[in-house]
Amino acid sequence: MAHVAALDTEEYVEQTYFFRTLRERLAQNMPTQEVLARIREEILATTRLPIAIEFLTAELKHTGVLGPAMERLAHYFTPFQAFVVSQSEVEGSRFTTEVALAVLEREAEYKARSPAPAALFCFQFETLCRNRLGYEIGLPKVADDPIYSDDWRAWIRKLRRQLGTIEFADLVYARSEHAVNEGRRRRPDYVAKHAVLFGEKEGRIAKANHGKDPLYLFAALQRQLGYPAVPRPKPPDQAANLLGQLDRRLQQIEVRLKLLESEIKGELDITQFYETKEP
């Protein structure tokens, strides 16, 4: 398929604002169409995003979902962006719209800062991994991001056949400068058989994470190299649950106090507690 060019920095800056504001206002139970209409007026008019939002709003009125509409705007939104939103709109999915929008916000924010393909790929791959979105469908969506070269696209698509038989850390190490440098130390005439995609530091970190959960590798890359971290679902608000329990408890106490007052005054009518049977 033909690959569109990456967007200008100002587009990613406005996308960051769009996804963040949409997420925050939906959390306030505001109607989606109303939110989109308001944000459209706030977005910088010199970008193409207001036109995209207008199209999303129109499609939302007809279909009730945003994912397919974003997929139709392939010249603006990437297949990965449309895929992430579509997965959050699947009925019964544990992958919520709030998390999906947070993922796209973090991705757009990173793309506005001269992104490195290796860092972006690890972010997108961790999103698939952590949220169980599926490699078979998800990886081709990742590969079609315009930031990737042909070598990157070929490697990402090949991963679908390798995952499960080869550790992810080993796959990263094999395509790193660190692996090439180690090969040359053993044999000066060593030449890499495949394109090098990851740097020296990525290769060292990947080798150190051999045999470990891939999530440890992602965390190490984020700590050591500043790779973007994937947003996670917020834990349940224990304070809100506690307030609800206290409210119910107070209602029970209030009922008991009224019964005691009625009994003291001699006004308690126990017949109200009799079970009535239908004739």
- Using the predicted structure, report yes or no on whether residue 258 has a pLDDT greater than 90: no
Whether the CB-CB separation of 39 and 21 falls below 8 Å is answered with yes
- Using the predicted structure, report yes or no on whether residue 240 has a pLDDT greater than 60: no
- pLDDT on residue 3: 58
3-state secondary structure at position 176: strand
Average pLDDT over residues 192-198: 94
Count how many Cα atoms sit within 13 Å of the Cα of residue 92 in the half-sphere of its side chain.
0
- pLDDT on residue 127: 97
3-state secondary structure at position 163: strand
Task: Provide the CA 62 distance to its chain's centre, in angstroms.
Answer: 25
Q: Can you tell me the distance from the alpha carbon of 87 to that of 95, in angstroms, rounded to the nearest whole number? A: 7
The residues pairing with 176 across neighbouring beta strands, listed in sequence order, are 198
Average pLDDT over residues 55-77: 95
Q: Please, what is the average pLDDT of the chain?
A: 90
Q: Which residues contact 190 (CB under 8 A, 6 or more apart)?
A: 180, 183, 184
3-state secondary structure at position 189: coil
Token duo for residue 232 = 């996670």
Q: What is the pLDDT of residues 4-32, one digit of tens each?
A: 678 999 999 999 999 999 999 999 999 99
Q: Can you tell me the distance from the alpha carbon of 64 to that of 58, in angstroms, rounded to the nearest whole number? A: 10
- pLDDT on residue 55: 97
- Using the predicted structure, report yes or no on whether residue 238 has a pLDDT greater than 70: no
- Using the predicted structure, report yes or no on whether residue 119 has a pLDDT greater than 90: yes
The residues pairing with 240 across neighbouring beta strands, listed in sequence order, are none
Helical axes 135-143 vs 79-88, angle rounded to 10°: 150
- Using the predicted structure, report yes or no on whether residue 279 has a pLDDT greater than 60: no
Token duo for residue 180 = 């090439």
Which fold would CATH assign to domain 1-114? Receptor-associated Protein (1.20.81)
Question: In which band, very low, low, confident or very high, does the pLDDT at 262 lie, cut at 50, 70 and 90?
Answer: confident
Average pLDDT over residues 158-180: 95
Alpha-carbon distances of 186 from 174, 178, 180, 189, 203, rounded to whole Å: 15, 13, 10, 9, 17
- Region for 211 from its dihedrals, namely left if φ exceeds 0, alpha if ψ lies in -120 to 50, beta otherwise: left
Average pLDDT over residues 155-162: 94
116-120, 185-189, 206-210, range with the lowest pLDDT: 185-189
119-123, 138-142, 145-149, 268-272, range with the lowest pLDDT: 268-272
